[in-house]
């Protein structure tokens, strides 16, 4: 039996986080990606960029343009995006496959340049160093129990900004932490919760 405000059954009868039922794209993303640990500098750079582009928009909007973003941003290979020129930025502003926001496009390129200045594996290690102790986090029963910002996401955002990263406020940082498995915010009764890696709390 589903908890009021908690995980809800989908068409297949399986209990999921309610947001993961609102569209077929969300079901797939919820079941196969969200909350599962993500490692690798380029992979985390992609998530950081997409969360920044999502700011002020629906995540579904970003999800449905994900392949367009990957094509436009050279597969989110940090070294390639860091080498983007002013001409590339103008090209991106004309690309209907992405969100055409000049400030966010410039931020993605600038963030790639900062990430490129780090050693191999350093972005991964930096981001994951802010993962909270999973033993100190209880499983949320309802969506209302999930915070938008945490001390860890605030600290991560502060560290990234100090290094020169843009569009990485505490809310964006926490959304990335949720998506990349630094925390496990699948609801207690959601089938996917127990599927998450040990590194997420």
Give residues with Cβ within 8 angstroms of 92, minimum separation 6: 72, 73, 98, 100, 105
User: Is pLDDT above 80 for 156?
Assistant: yes
Tokens 């640990």 belong to 37
Annotated binding site: 17, 30, 186, 190
Residue 190 lies in a domain: no
Q: Is 51 a catalytic residue?
A: yes
Share of the chain above pLDDT 90, in %: 89
Q: How many CA atoms are closer than 13 Å to the CA of 152, on its beta-carbon side?
A: 20
Annotated binding site for Zn(2+): 17, 30, 186, 190
Whole-prediction pTM: 0.92
What letter does residue 77 receive in the DSSP assignment?
Answer: -
Q: Of the residues 26, 34, 46, 51, which is catalytic?
A: 51
Predicted pLDDT of residue 141: 95
Residue 169 lies in a domain: yes
Alpha helices in 56-150 (DSSP H): 59-63, 66-72, 78-82, 86-93, 102-116, 122-128
Q: What is the per-residue pLDDT across 120-155, written as a single tens digit (0 to 9) for each?
A: 999 999 999 999 998 888 999 999 999 999 999 999
Residue 21 lies in a domain: no
| CATH value at residue 165 | 1.10.340.30
Residue 23 lies in a domain: no
What letter does residue 76 receive in the DSSP assignment?
Answer: G
Residue 12 lies in a domain: no
Q: Is 145 a catalytic residue?
A: no
Domain of 76, in residue numbers: 41-180
């Amino acid at each position: 039996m589903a908890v009021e405000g908690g995980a809800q059954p989908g068409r297949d009868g399986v209990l999921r986080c309610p947001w993961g039922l609102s569209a077929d794209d969300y079901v797939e993303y919820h079941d196969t990606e969200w909350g599962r640990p993500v490692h690798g500098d380029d992979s985390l750079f992609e998530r950081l960029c997409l969360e920044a582009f999502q700011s002020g928009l629906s995540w579904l909007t970003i999800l449905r343009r994900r392949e367009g973003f990957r094509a436009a941003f050279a597969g989110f290979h940090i070294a390639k995006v860091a080498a983007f020129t002013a001409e590339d930025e103008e090209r991106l502003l004309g690309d209907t496959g992405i969100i055409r926001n000049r400030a966010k496009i410039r931020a993605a390129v600038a963030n790639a340049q900062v990430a490129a200045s780090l050693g191999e594996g350093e972005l991964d290690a930096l981001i994951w160093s802010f993962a909270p102790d999973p033993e100190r986090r209880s499983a949320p029963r309802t969506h209302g129990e999930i915070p938008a910002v945490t001390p860890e996401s605030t600290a991560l955002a502060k560290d990234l900004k100090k290094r020169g990263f843009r569009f990485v406020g505490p809310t964006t940082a926490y959304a990335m932490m949720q998506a990349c498995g630094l925390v496990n915010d699948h609801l207690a009764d959601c089938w996917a919760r127990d599927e998450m890696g040990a590194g997420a709390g």
